[in-house]
Structure 1
Amino acid sequence: MSTEVGSPVAGLATAISEVPDPVFSQVMVGPGVAVQPSGGRADAVAPVAGTVATLHPHAFVIASPGGAAILVHLGIDTVKLKGEGFELHVAKGDVVEAGQRIVTWDQSEVESHGYSSICPVVALDVAPDALTDVREDGQVVAGDLLFAVGA
């Protein structure tokens, strides 16, 4: 059974290799797809149904019942903002549905501090060939399929 992973934000889907951070672009944490957000204040939503395994203002991991753990990172180096401009709507350990609001953030605010607002969406602890139906180009809205994980 495969787990379908939706986009957490609206924007332009792009190859993970385009992320301006080698941890993501060189697939050190796992394979995935990046989304360049449309801009402005918006919600980042759960890419899959599951349990909030890790939660920071700038990043979160949802562990799906099928075993896939999906990392969403809102921008690059945004940890340096120490939560400024991010509003959490869930707590670690919460069970969430795909498409449920997790964080409200402002991509333009992130960019005003000199950081990239690109959002890597990564499948943790899987081989690159574990992804199927990978979408690496074109406009997406929150919830659109980015990739699937598993058999």
Structure 2
Amino acid sequence: MAPEEIRVYENNMVLQHRLKDAGGLGATQALQRQLEASRTAEETAGLAAGSLTGLSLVGTRAFSAAAARHELLKSRWLAYEVDPQLQFDFPAMSDTAFPATAAMIRAMRTADQAKSEGNTANYQSAVAAFCETLTVAEAAAGVP
């Protein structure tokens, strides 16, 4: 549940059952878990504080998983940029004049932009597109 949904649930239960103390509902603990997950995901993804506070706990975890996958893909691509042996063996992976590499770079930038927006679904699809274009670029460059 998103933080707003948790608060609405808590308010509805207090009104419906005429509770004086809502502490036994577990809403406070649920909000704490959600906020902690958001803070952790923001730190891991390098986002500004408060960027993911509107997401549910499941959405926050999905965003974190997409961010981890995104970082792995960027590391995989960066190896072609910084390793002299890979540069020599697969020059097309660093050549933006090569159509598959150019498409991969565009997909990587799209994933970077989607990450900063904080929308989990858009970010996941952008990372998936980046993964696909990186694989295509590697195949086109002759990477085994």
Confirm or deny a common fold (TM above 0.5): no
Give the greater-gyration-radius structure (CA): 2
Q: Which has the higher contact order (CA 8 A, sep 6+)?
A: 1
TM-score, normalised by the number of residues in structure 2 = 0.27
TM-score, normalised by the number of residues in structure 1 = 0.26
| Structure with a larger share of its residues in strand | 1
